[in-house]
A = this chain, B = another copy of it.
Amino acid sequence: MTRSAVLGKDLTGLEPLDADQLRLILDTAEPFKEVSERPIKKVPALRGKTIVNLFFEASTRTRISFEFAEKRLSADTVNVAASGSSVSKGETLVDTARNLEAMRIDMVVIRHGASGAAQFLGDRIRSNVVNAGDGKHEHPTQGLLDLLTLRDRFGKLAGLKVAICGDVLHSRVARSNIWGLTKLGAEVGVCGPPTLLPRDVRELGVTVLPRIEDAIAWADALNILRLQLERMQAGFIPSLREYNRVFGVSRERLARAPKDLLIMHPGPMNRGVEIDSDVADGEHSVILPQVTNGVAVRMAVLYLLAGGSPDWHHPGGDHA
């Protein structure tokens, strides 16, 4: 039995995965955490594999996180940014993909502005495809790193109450979290201005928490989404100050919670808008552990898609 059969060829989202597959990824990520703590941060798991990071949207943190995940697995990586690419010459995504495959690329990590771009790519090439964010659809490795961080802190996900706060409507992070959390037995709440919540959000099995105070009273953990500043121009919110006044997560608001809440944020943060600095940097914040877990989760995904055994680190495993 190979793991790629277990996980499928691609990781396009968390929606298509079942609870066992999600747990497999999280369990595989555990030992990869330790690799990044070593003086020599490298295992030979993907040596000689070639991976393209195909980023049609700008991203620092996700691209770097994938790139280090790939390098710590000893893969050879090439970065392609949309600007300066054949795309600007009008080439279709499928022609780009077929060309990469013709170069015998093993994997493509794609970020794209169109929902479904990763699936579209994965359906057309034999190489493994990992979705690094596609439009408003999913950002599955962000969802996985959030799951891993929650499991780290609470020991389990079943029964946990997680409130996702902010611009849920436009957020692929929210969607991946909702799928991942509900499949693993957590309860999900969403909280934000009505203009920034999807109309059919209850159909995803989540609780709508109209006010940030409701979210704080209800949840074990808050996952506070970045407010894209362009939402204001587009009229979704009246002003950043107003947004902060009504939905900003502040120390004062948290002080009224019945228990300590875990604070998460996918970054980059708008300090003083959706989250205040003393919350972001406070004792219950796991915003930086989320980033650390991001590398481990991405190593696990790449490793499993490449057909690796989850037992690589044990005596008798791949690299024993």
Is A50 positioned at the interface, with any CB of B under 8 Å from its CB? yes
Q: If A76-B72, A104-B37 touch, does A98 touch B288 (CB 8 Å cutoff)?
A: yes
This chain's copy number in the assembly: 3
Flag if A85 contacts B58 (CB, 8 Å).
Answer: yes
Is A250 positioned at the interface, with any CB of B under 8 Å from its CB? no
Flag if A64 contacts B229 (CB, 8 Å).
Answer: no
Residues in B neighbouring A80, C-beta threshold 8 A:
60, 64
* A 72-91 to B, binary, CB cutoff 8 A, 1 in contact else 0: 10001010110111111111
Interface residues on A, range: 35 or more
Contact of A103 among B42, B87, B292 (CB under 8 A): B292
Q: What's the nearest-Cβ distance from chain B to residue A288, in Å?
A: 4
CA distance A138 to B188 in the complex (A): 51
Is A155 positioned at the interface, with any CB of B under 8 Å from its CB? no
- The interface stretch among A208-216, A241-249, A268-276 is A268-276
CA distance A36 to B71 in the complex (A): 19
Residues in B neighbouring A41, C-beta threshold 8 A:
48-50, 76, 104, 106
Flag if B58 contacts A47 (CB, 8 Å).
Answer: no
Flag if B102 contacts A289 (CB, 8 Å).
Answer: yes
Residues in B neighbouring A284, C-beta threshold 8 A:
none
Residues in B neighbouring A295, C-beta threshold 8 A:
103-104
Query: 12 other contacts beyond A60-B85, A60-B87, with CB at 8 A cut-off?
Result: A40-B47, A40-B49, A42-B47, A42-B76, A50-B71, A60-B80, A64-B80, A65-B103, A83-B84, A90-B270, A91-B267, A102-B288
> What are the nearest 3 A-B pairs in CB distance?
A40-B48, A102-B291, A91-B268
Binding site for B on A (CB under 8 A): 36-42, 47-50, 52, 58-61, 64-65, 67-68, 71-72, 76, 78, 80-81, 83-92, 95-96, 98-106, 229, 267-271, 288-292, 294-295
